[in-house]
Amino acid sequence: MAEIRDAEVTIVGGGAIGCAVAYALVRAGYRDIQVVEQGELAGATSGQAAGLVGQVRATRERCLLAMASVAEYARIERETGYPADWRPTGSVRIAMTEERAAEFRALAAVARSAGLEVEFLTAARLAGRFPMLDTTGVTAALWCPTDGYLQPNSLVTAYARAARDRGVTFATRTTVTGLRITGGAVTGVRTGRRAVATDMVINAAGPWAGAVARLAGQQFPVVPVRHEYFVTRAVPGWHAGLPVLRIPDLRLYVRAEGPGILCGGWEPDGLSLDPRQVAIGQPLAVPPDWDVLSGFAADFARLAPPVAQAEVREVFRGFPAFSPDGRFIVGPVPGLRGFVMAAACNAHGVSGSAGLAQHVLESLQPDPSPYVRSLSPARYLPRTWDWESARAQAEAIYENYYGLPPPRS
């Protein structure tokens, strides 16, 4: 572990975003970068993620972002030799209603417009890929051959090691407790032990990003919303090469974890934390909610009956950060030179980390694209929004993660 030090760029947070941003900046020629992490790298939300990487998205920009991230996973492994444990197993998205099948057709059109290969599977081909699924009631199955999953810890480690090889330093077990602001610019960072000078702070503090922003006198609606999944012991027929499954009508996602089943879902009643109450350094532990988890298992058992009997090996959970409009909050904060947000990943923070890091990089250039500009924290300034509505809207983004788009009038 390195000590915190004077540095041109200080990234607060050593999760997928902080480490991806460090790697992207150093590759782009930025020098003198440090990452400051209160615990261990990937020790918070990122280490709990399921690692699903889905490129089929409702908008072309999100689709392109995910495609860029996938290209990056293969590249980072190839160029650095550090494994992200990326498995391009493909993915199948299953519809169980006609409305959902129509949504898939729209998603397929967006995917194709972005140059992403997708195709609809016949019932026989679906059964070929997933012999253990009861596909009665399936109305459509959308296949994306280049999707897959990775091990989030491996990805974060790969970013960090590749960045360290290029000179980035990592101060772990070091909590940023204050920022020094002089003449409308960030000029330093404080911890319990020391104060150091810096020209730029990048706030990649995940569910604590709102608290870190408050250190700079800023308020942004970064809302932590609980999310969880379970992993079972071995189930006959399941193996690591199976495609990822998404069953939006059941609000579920599923993949193999070795010989077991990993199954998670989007609860209809999201449980958020009040961002104003999340303090610097506060542990965000959350116990498993067995009512919710057994609901996921019961729903998935409709397609895969053995899951009902499978023994749960482990539960993963945490508080991914959501924004009220479901979009990232990325870029320099107007009116405070050197303070940059890289937050509110809306549960894409592992799969989208490489692309999101590119957005952060682009936001620092003189002329970012209209899309990157649209992610700017400026949209929450001045504060015309209220906390209760922001929290309710962020919960709604979570609850409707697999929601159908509103019907066209």
Ligand X SMILES: Cc1cc2nc3c(=O)[nH]c(=O)nc-3n(C[C@H](O)[C@H](O)[C@H](O)COP(=O)(O)OP(=O)(O)OC[C@H]3O[C@@H](n4cnc5c(N)ncnc54)[C@H](O)[C@@H]3O)c2cc1C
- In angstroms, rounded to a whole number, what is the distance separating the alpha carbons of residues 45 and 340? 20
Can residue 355 be called a binding residue for ligand X (CB under 6 A)?
Answer: no
Subset of 217-256 contacting ligand X (CB under 6 A): 227-229
First to last CA, the chain: 58
Which region, judged by CB under 6 A, interacts with ligand X, from 87-95, 103-111, 350-358, 360-368?
A: 350-358
Can residue 303 be called a binding residue for ligand X (CB under 6 A)?
Answer: no
CA 290 to chain centre: 24
Can residue 18 be called a binding residue for ligand X (CB under 6 A)?
Answer: yes
Residue of the chain from 65, 138, 205, 213 that contacts ligand X (CB under 6 A): 205
Shortest CB 207 distance to ligand X, Å: 6
Subset of 253-282 contacting ligand X (CB under 6 A): 280
Shortest CB 163 distance to ligand X, Å: 14
Can residue 147 be called a binding residue for ligand X (CB under 6 A)?
Answer: no
CB of 174 within 8 A of CB of 191?
yes
Can residue 345 be called a binding residue for ligand X (CB under 6 A)?
Answer: yes
Can residue 38 be called a binding residue for ligand X (CB under 6 A)?
Answer: yes
CB of 245 within 8 A of CB of 255?
yes
Q: Which is nearer to ligand X, 151 or 376 (CB)?
A: 151
| Number of residues that make up the chain | 409
Which region, judged by CB under 6 A, interacts with ligand X, from 45-53, 110-118, 267-275, 396-404?
A: 45-53
Looking at the DSSP bridge assignments, the partners of residue 254 are 245, 263
CB of 199 within 8 A of CB of 263?
no
Can residue 316 be called a binding residue for ligand X (CB under 6 A)?
Answer: yes
Q: Which is nearer to ligand X, 58 or 109 (CB)?
A: 58
Shortest CB 273 distance to ligand X, Å: 13
Shortest CB 79 distance to ligand X, Å: 22
CB of 330 within 8 A of CB of 376?
yes
Residue of the chain from 4, 7, 11, 46 that contacts ligand X (CB under 6 A): 46
Shortest CB 352 distance to ligand X, Å: 6
Residue of the chain from 49, 65, 76, 179 that contacts ligand X (CB under 6 A): 49
Shortest CB 166 distance to ligand X, Å: 19
Q: Which two tokens stand for residue 7?
A: 């540095």
Shortest CB 128 distance to ligand X, Å: 25
Shortest CB 291 distance to ligand X, Å: 16
Which region, judged by CB under 6 A, interacts with ligand X, from 125-133, 349-357, 360-368, 394-402?
A: 349-357
Shortest CB 65 distance to ligand X, Å: 11
Q: Count the residues of the shown chain that bind ligand X, applying the rule CB under 6 A.
A: 43
Shortest CB 367 distance to ligand X, Å: 26
Q: Which is nearer to ligand X, 228 or 362 (CB)?
A: 228
CB of 222 within 8 A of CB of 329?
yes
Q: Which of 400, 389, 377, 362 is nearest to 328 (CA)?
A: 377
Q: Which is nearer to ligand X, 221 or 352 (CB)?
A: 352
Q: Which is nearer to ligand X, 257 or 366 (CB)?
A: 257
Shortest CB 16 distance to ligand X, Å: 4
The three-point CA angle 33-64-158 to 5° equals 35
Residue of the chain from 10, 34, 48, 272 that contacts ligand X (CB under 6 A): 48
Q: Which residues bind ligand X (CB under 6 A)?
A: 12-18, 36-39, 43-46, 48-52, 175-176, 204-208, 212, 227-229, 280, 316-318, 320, 345, 347-352
